[in-house]
Structure 1
């Protein structure tokens, strides 16, 4: 086995996760599936996916799940490469057996037993493929999961969540339907294998579904598993650092020249860098790309938290950005922040917004970690209420100190909100929370239990 550390700079949608491409094997599997040739797209156009549903179906019809997974991995790597207009440094693809062994090794190291789920909607059905430690890969074809109908269902589900005034049944009903299509066909295997972490590699139309809030009729998915999404398995950084021992660089802005203010940001930053977490907090004029690079040159902060507006645009990669005090840093400029020197273990974008149902924005979101150079990214699918973000983030960093596993810390935070255990009032992690400024609503635990406040936050990249 040949291990190579590769630095990858990819996209703001897979919001910010991966810098070191990692363990690579010396040769590709002998049954490698060649990709169809694709004409290079213009930057402003969504790249045509090399993945052809009829080709995937033909492969899976022969019960060759391993070759089906390999074909998907190659296709999505090519699509991200076209989207970013940059060649990725690795052409090697893990086969399903290698993936299974890697997941088993990470289980031994972390105690989290992970399964990788591919979900690819096609015009006629939904293709599901599962890779888990110690078993052969599994394929399920779901005729009820036709792409057009599934995309409409996802849109209905997300729309119901982002409007807290709609009846609860609106998101529970559509969320259960998505669960029955994507999770239920694999549930028996997940339970038998004692899986407790799900890594999703999703096709177009599914990359921005708030997975944490889909439900089985009794519980949300996040109550059963920790969750994360990736653009492709071969783009993952598998290195596990001791995140609880690192320090945080927390930066942000509360005032903007052309955008809405974020009045809770000063409290958000002060609640993060506190007695439990060492680090540095920088606000407004100090929040510049140059200062971010300077601070990391002085000390290699392993967590970078950016409390500011960020947007994954429905247009091209150049129109997606993170807003700093003095400028916007476009998604295709993220590599200039040097978050891979050394690699940031976790990049958090606490006020991100991703266009609903837009394929271009989906690619950006799913590729965030790769584009940024960070091992993992946490970003939100929609712009969450300022006070709600403050509550969630203060709770998240408490959990991260206790668990040291990023996906589990986010899971425990979301469960605490579901169970009405989180509020701004008398929250010890928020300095001065009992005297919040009048322009920050003092949300109670019942309000914060609505999935609008917690379901949009998604971990992208390395979940460990």
Structure 2
């Protein structure tokens, strides 16, 4: 039987309103689900279900709690669609996320806040979740999507231009982004004694070198330890100290098709010196997937460090890879290595490159920890000069022995670099935790004296997933 369109409209409206009333009575977020019926002009998926409207439209009139819940559900769906897997760790709502941050503050002594940043055509929507507090929402009209994208591109171009490592040409863009993303929330951050930030970012912001944002006096990383997550419910938030964790370090200094990484032998021997109970390292021909499996089967390594090329490219996860000596491990095959059996707490990729500004590449980067099955990952947004990588990694692992969290260890290493405390001098790598220094091979001694103050050397390194 064919009904008049007016009757169909009324029936659909009743269904939507009924669903909304039930949801509000139960105290859960008013989120559009696939079963919701509408009669407006919508796009149907191949399964005949209506695609949800853009996230900005979904959250337009929501209160802060429902905004958090809607963002979590939307981005969880995006990542699971991209990786074609169920990646959820939990189903916490905003009050429970806030309570979890409170628990972590007690366990780690670091007070962490979570910042959601949702770009929309006309403004940037920010939501701040604090430990044991109600979330706070701010809108930033000056930060239109176009302004954000253009400024993010400007920042990345200026920082990664190796001809400008002696200049501060990145500062104008770094200041604008700080004003848009941090300044609207700064009073609340100070009032709540926050010293650690985790960012849950929307498209075009996931490849920002957040550590390089600047308030005119200091970099963001000088004030807060920093991390990136795809969504809180996709993040293992259980705290585990890495202070005495054995390290399995593997890598290659030469490749058939990719540029050499001449500092890798020093990097591996410095961070994992083949001392029983501390770690092992393997170079070149021993850097194979088979050996990785064998070593992990023989001993539990909480940290796996891969000093090799890794690329996050556009398109499907199969287009992104980690280069081993004999072949490539593509992102879609990461879980086959069973990083969670036994659990790897931290996966480090010390020579990465991301297709900056590409949505798929950004999702591959931000979703690295959840896709691999590790609790967290440390990776770089661009392929940093490998001597600079050696400098950062040498300090990071030493700070990891004393810092309360892994993101704080990264912050301390980055700030040591930007202040000139880590440098090449008279044939040695000098740093606050390196004693008399690390002797360098002749090929690196030839570089002469050098510092690593410019954000090109340190700001691309990002802690992804569990920051604690």
- TM-score range with shorter-chain normalisation? 0.7 to 0.9
1:55 aligns with 2:58: yes
Between 1:170-179 and 1:433-442, the stretch displaced more is 433-442
CA offset at residue 163 of structure 1? 1.3
Q: Name structure 1 gaps, 5 residues minimum.
A: 1-27, 42-47
Query: Within the alignment, does 1:415 sit opposite 2:418 as a pair?
Result: no
Q: Aligned in 2, Cα 1:419/1:73: closer, same or farther, shift over 3 Å?
A: same
Change in 2 beyond 3 A, CA 1:351/1:431 = farther
For 1:395, the equivalent position in structure 2 comes to: 395
CA deviation profile, 1:350-403 (whole Å, cap 9, x unmatched): 000001111111111110000111111000000000111111111111111121
1:146 aligned onto 2:150: no
Aligned residue in 1 for 2:456? 452
TM normalised by structure 1 equals 0.87
Change (3 A) 1:144 1:266: same
> Would the alpha carbon gap of residues 306 and 230 (structure 1) be closer, same or farther in structure 2, given more than 3 Å must change?
same
Aligned partners of 1:131, 1:138: CA distance in 2, in Å?
7
In 2, are the aligned partners of 1:400 and 1:409 still within 8 Å (CA)? yes
* Separation (CA, whole Å) in 2 of partners of 1:108 and 1:127: 29
For the Cα contact (< 8 Å) 1:347–1:377, is it kept in 2? yes
Distance (Å, rounded) in 1 between the aligned partners of 2:446 and 2:206:
31
Shift of 1:82: 0.7
What is the TM-score with the length of structure 2 in the denominator?
0.86
CA distance in 2, matches of 1:457, 1:397: 14
Partner of 2:111: 113
Change (3 A) 1:319 1:192: same
What residue in structure 2 maps to residue 87 of structure 1?
Answer: 86
1:438 aligns with 2:443: yes
The answer on whether the counterparts of 1:417 and 1:445 sit within 8 Å (CA) in structure 2 is no
Contact 2:88–2:233 (CA<8 Å) still a contact in 1? no
1:420 & 1:350 partners in 2: Cα distance?
A: 21
Q: Kindly report which structure 2 residues correspond to 1:167-182, keeping only aligned pairs within 5 A, or say none.
A: 168-182=167-181
1:200 and 2:203 are equivalent in the alignment: no
Distance 1:248 1:267 in 2: 15
Secondary structure at the aligned position of 2:98 is classed as helix
2:155 pairs, out of 134, 141, 157, with 157
2:429 matched residue in structure 1: 427
Deviations 1:265-302 (A, max 9, x none): 11100010136981100111111111111111110100
Distance 1:408 1:229 in 2: 13
Structure 2 CA distance for partners of 1:440 and 1:315, relative to 1, 3 Å? farther
State which drifts further: 152-161 or 422-431.
Answer: 422-431
> Could you say if the C-alpha distance between residues 440 and 76 of structure 1 is closer, same or farther in structure 2, counting changes exceeding 3 Å?
farther
**Partner in structure 1 of residue 3 of structure 2:** none
SS of alignment partner, residue 98 of structure 1:
helix
Between the aligned partners of 1:128 and 1:453, the Cα distance in structure 2 is 29
| Distance (Å, rounded) in 1 between the aligned partners of 2:336 and 2:53 | 29
**Alpha carbons 1:293, 1:338 under 8 Å: kept:** no
Distance (whole Å) between structure 2 residues aligned to residue 440 and residue 40 of structure 1? 59
Distance in 2 between the 1:51 and 1:277 partners? 51
Residue 461 of structure 1: aligned partner: 465
2:10 corresponds to: none
Matches for 1:44-443 after TM superposition, within 5 Å? 51-59=54-62, 64-88=63-87, 93-166=91-164, 168-274=167-273, 278-425=278-425, 426-427=428-429, 429=434, 433-438=438-443, 442=447
Q: SS of 1:271's equivalent?
A: helix
- State the structure with more CA Rg: 2
Take 1:409 and 1:276, find their aligned partners in 2: how far apart are those partners? 23
Shift of 1:170: 1.9
C-alpha displacement of 1:193: 0.3
- Work out whether residues 127 and 135 of structure 2, in 8 Å CA contact, stay in contact via their aligned partners in 1: yes
Q: Could you say what the CA RMSD is over the residues aligned between the two structures, in angstroms?
A: 2.3
CA distance in 1, matches of 2:466, 2:67: 23
Distance 1:420 1:82, change over 3 A: same
- Count matched residues: 426
Aligned residue for 2:243, secondary structure, equals helix
Spell out, residue by residue over 1:99-150, the C-alpha distance to the aligned partner (whole angstroms, 9 max, x if none): 1110000100000000000001100100000000132110000000101111
| Alpha-carbon separation, structure 1, partners of 2:213 and 2:435 | 30
1:50 and 1:78, CA in 2 relative to 1: closer, same or farther beyond 3 A?
Answer: farther
Unaligned runs of 5+ in 2: 1-25, 36-42
Equivalent residues of 2:251, 2:287 under 8 A apart? yes
Cα distance, 1:427 vs. partner? 3.3
Instruction: Give the superposition deviation at 1:416.
Output: 0.4
**Helix, strand or coil at the partner of 2:412:** helix
Partners of 1:96 and 1:236 in 2: CA distance: 14
In 2, Cα distance between the equivalents of 1:314 and 1:424?
Answer: 36
